[in-house]
Chain A
Amino acid sequence: MSVFRGHSPRDGGLGALRAKIAAIEASGRPDSGVLPFGDLAVDGCLPGGGLPLGRWHEIGGTGLEVETAAAPAAFTALVTAPLAARGQVVWVLRRDDLWAPGLAGLGFPPERLIQVCARDEAEALSVMEDALATVGVAAVVGEVEAADLTAGRRLQLACEKRGATGFLILRRPYGGQPKREATGSAAATRWRIASAPSEPAAGEFGLGSPRFRVELERCRGGRTGTWLFEAPGAYDPAADNWEMTDVAHPLRLVADLGDRQLAPAQPLRRAG
């Protein structure tokens, strides 16, 4: 498992201080390591140099995607694909519209996926909690509207039991009214994912590899940022096994968008 590395404080004094704070925050929590994206521009913003494992993360969409959550689902599948090598991935749904062939095309092993369809929000959260605390489950993805502070804290405790990583895809029911945005959250990070125009290689027709505009909106112990990611291995059976190829992560950084809004203005995005 060369792709997983532990905390590595970069510079002396500041690093020592950070480690001290982390130790106070963790309060005996086992260190589950991180999953680096393989690019310093991203990993430098995240505490420990990668996506923290054994925590849970919020992933939201923009515009219409708040209801369909296709880009967040694709992004989550790409991020959890390396974790699926460690165990099963439980995906808790409210609507049964996740399509396994699509995930397989992105490089996610469908034989590692257990899908659960919950009847309501509370049930989805409790199933997530149950799955996170189970041996043999590497990651749990849940599609819920929002998790309040109590639910988030419970999820965090469940994550710490076995070191499983949680992903909460924030998805509003069809035709539902937007809920009041949760003021605080126990999540380690919060991401906002939108599809971005693809760039096929020169001389090729059609669509290129899927691209995503990824915004790290909130990050405990780290910094925020906005990047353009590409999934070069999507729909390419040659890139079947991440550990065999030299690709460190299924997502490759294309550009650092920063706060400069280099991406074309998004007509889909609405206020609220």
Chain B
Amino acid sequence: MRAVRRLSAVSLEAARLGLHPGQKATDAMALVPELAAAEAEPEADAAALEALAHWCVRYSPAVAIDAPDGLFLDVTGVDHLWNGEAAMLADFRGRLLANGLPFRCAIADTPGAAWALAHFGEEGAIAPPGGQGPLLAPLPPAALRLETETWAQVERLGLRQVGQLMAIPRAPFGRRFGRAALTRLDQALGREREALTFRRPPTPWYARLAFAEPISAPEDMARVTGDIAAKLCARLETQGQGARRFEIAFHRVDGKALPLAVGLSLPGRDPARIAKLFAPKLETVDPGFGIEVVTLMAQAVEPISGRQVRLDNAREATVEEGLAPLVDRLTNRLGEDRVWRAGPVESHVPELAVGRLRPLAPAPGPKSPQARAWDRQTPRPTRLFRRPEPVEAVMALTPDDPPSQFRWRGQTHRVRRAEGPERIGEEWWKGAIETVGVGHVRDYYRVEDEAGARFWLFRAGLYDDPAQPPKWWMHGLFG
């Protein structure tokens, strides 16, 4: 075998100059001396194609890679999301164009017909249901994805169009060109099924249980949930991994998949616990005519061997067996935003100084770049109103004095003692510069009325603008 360098792909400009893939590099150089050639990188091409396949999931979950340069998308039942196939194809083309990718695409009933139209037909063709025959007829026989020898023979016999092949009776066609060619023709016309290898979900932590008979009884669903959890957790355990999130999907006989998800506060792999978390949600699953397949996927997988219960530390064991299941139960029942631990956020603005952490997240160490803890020396209220409430009839001796009397929620309070002001400015470095002004300055006072109730109120703005007198607000209660 001679080592001959050939062109593996050419740009549009090069094609216009008469170059074509498969041409010897020396010939091409002779034709176009200023040719800029780059080494072919099949691996990089394959990786790019795979990335494109992942991207195409936005159009359809079923994407198959047709190496080296094609993709099949099964768009059955998804085109209505774009109001029809034409609109979907337009959107698809627009996005690819915006990315600068050269492409040809087509929609047809069968993968074979779509391939033929995309490679040899009119770009962007949409074959009407069942109508791919007339569209395929004028295309060259190569559009049928024939083997090289078969294709050469077809050419030698002077058959220039698919339509001529379609006209040949099946028996002589099979005898002359082989069984494979007949299959290809049938696949293109929808007379035979074609199996595509669709892309796998990216997580390898995936388990599947298929049943000989569809199940529908609630107790059966609870049992298979435990079974599939045990199956996946056994794998997780051998690898020393645990997962934070589990997604189960019940695939019904009618092809519909019903997903459920649960989250864990700490990565775990205890099948009984996971099944228990799913148990209250199972009643929302309508099994219809029965469930034939169950899949379970683990997400946010991380090693947990380092988290093993230690015999010398009782508290660690407590978290694993007591608190973590409690937090999981509450989070899955109430929702993730309803169970939290308050953590400090670096901000002067009171309502921004508290962030929500995961309840069992490890506390940041003293040297970590996390926010500093709240200053315990400056008094802060136990209740902070999400929206400060207006305070009326505020009387103060001088503009910068704390109020001596105010009215809030219909009751007049006479101030006996007061502290302040504590001036808190807005975070001007975060917003637009035009909005910065003295109107956002807040002067906080901690006051105590005659009954002993302690309030945290503030005056927004300064007194220097007579048109906009400062307003008083109640922001919190000390109790």
**Residue pair B418, A206 in contact (C-beta under 8 Å):** yes
CB-defined interface of B324-362 with A at 8 Å, one 1/0 digit per residue? 011101100010001111111000001001100001000
- In the complex, besides A105-B374, A130-B326, A206-B417, 5 extra interface pairs with C-beta distance below 8 angstroms are A70-B381, A70-B479, A116-B330, A135-B321, A195-B452
Residue of B nearest to A114 (CB): B359
CB-defined interface of B384-403 with A at 8 Å, one 1/0 digit per residue? 11100000000000000000
Q: Smallest distance from the beta carbon of A111 to chain B beta carbons, Å?
A: 5
Q: How far apart are the CA atoms of A73 and B339 in the complex, in Å?
A: 19
B119 at the interface (CB under 8 A from A): no
Partner of B342, one of A70, A115, A240: A115
B residues in contact with A208, CB < 8 Å: 417
Among A127, A211, A240: residue with most chain B CB under 10 A: A127
**Residue pair B341, A115 in contact (C-beta under 8 Å):** yes
A residues in contact with B327, CB < 8 Å: 114
Nearest first, the 8 closest Cβ-Cβ pairs linking A and B are A135-B322, A70-B479, A100-B342, A71-B479, A70-B477, A206-B419, A74-B479, A99-B384
Check A195/B342 contact, CB under 8 A, given A74-B382, A116-B330, A127-B330.
no
CB-defined interface of A210-224 with B at 8 Å, one 1/0 digit per residue? 110100000000000
Residue of B nearest to A134 (CB): B326
B376 at the interface (CB under 8 A from A): yes
Q: Smallest distance from the beta carbon of A233 to chain B beta carbons, Å?
A: 10
Name which of B88-96, B278-286, B429-437, B443-451 contacts chain A. B443-451
B380 at the interface (CB under 8 A from A): yes
A residues in contact with B344, CB < 8 Å: 101
**Residue pair A88, B323 in contact (C-beta under 8 Å):** yes
What is the interface size of chain B, counting residues whose CB is below 8 A from a CB of the partner? 54
B residues in contact with A200, CB < 8 Å: 417
B318 at the interface (CB under 8 A from A): yes
**Residue pair A74, B452 in contact (C-beta under 8 Å):** no
Residue of B nearest to A108 (CB): B382
**Residue pair A102, B383 in contact (C-beta under 8 Å):** yes
B residues in contact with A77, CB < 8 Å: 382
20 example contacts (A-B, Cβ-Cβ < 8 A) are as follows A65-B453, A70-B381, A70-B478, A74-B479, A98-B383, A101-B344, A102-B382, A104-B374, A111-B341, A115-B341, A116-B334, A136-B322, A197-B450, A198-B448, A205-B419, A207-B419, A211-B452, A235-B377, A237-B376, A267-B451
Q: Which B residues have a C-beta under 8 Å from some C-beta of A?
A: 315, 318-319, 321-323, 325-327, 329-330, 334, 338-344, 350, 353-354, 359, 363, 373-374, 376-386, 409, 411, 416-419, 446, 448, 450-454, 476-479
Q: Which A residues have a C-beta under 8 Å from some C-beta of B?
A: 63-65, 68-75, 77, 87-88, 90, 96-107, 110-111, 113-119, 123, 127, 130-131, 134-137, 193-198, 200, 205-208, 210-211, 213, 234-237, 240, 264, 266-268
Q: How far apart are the CA atoms of A234 and B334 in the complex, in Å?
A: 34
B residues in contact with A64, CB < 8 Å: 409, 411, 453
Residue of A nearest to B340 (CB): A115
Residue of A nearest to B402 (CB): A206
**Residue pair B386, A96 in contact (C-beta under 8 Å):** yes
The count of A-to-B residue pairs whose CB atoms sit within 8 angstroms is 184
**Residue pair A113, B342 in contact (C-beta under 8 Å):** yes
**Residue pair A235, B321 in contact (C-beta under 8 Å):** no
Q: How far apart are the CA atoms of A139 and B477 in the complex, in Å?
A: 23
Check A207/B326 contact, CB under 8 A, given A98-B383, A102-B383.
no
Q: How far apart are the CA atoms of A234 and B379 in the complex, in Å?
A: 8
Q: Smallest distance from the beta carbon of B241 to chain A beta carbons, Å?
A: 25
Partner of A68, one of B419, B446, B477: B477
Residue of B nearest to A266 (CB): B451
**Residue pair B354, A195 in contact (C-beta under 8 Å):** no
A residues in contact with B384, CB < 8 Å: 97, 99, 102
Among B334, B409, B452: residue with most chain A CB under 10 A: B452
**Residue pair A73, B452 in contact (C-beta under 8 Å):** no
**Residue pair B448, A70 in contact (C-beta under 8 Å):** no
A residues in contact with B354, CB < 8 Å: 99-101
A residues in contact with B341, CB < 8 Å: 110-111, 113-115
**Residue pair A70, B382 in contact (C-beta under 8 Å):** yes
Q: Smallest distance from the beta carbon of B316 to chain A beta carbons, Å?
A: 10
Q: How far apart are the CA atoms of A195 and B323 in the complex, in Å?
A: 34
Q: How far apart are the CA atoms of A264 and B416 in the complex, in Å?
A: 13
**Residue pair A236, B377 in contact (C-beta under 8 Å):** yes
Q: Smallest distance from the beta carbon of A268 to chain B beta carbons, Å?
A: 5
Q: How far apart are the CA atoms of A194 and B452 in the complex, in Å?
A: 8
B residues in contact with A195, CB < 8 Å: 448, 451-454, 478-479
Q: Smallest distance from the beta carbon of A64 to chain B beta carbons, Å?
A: 7
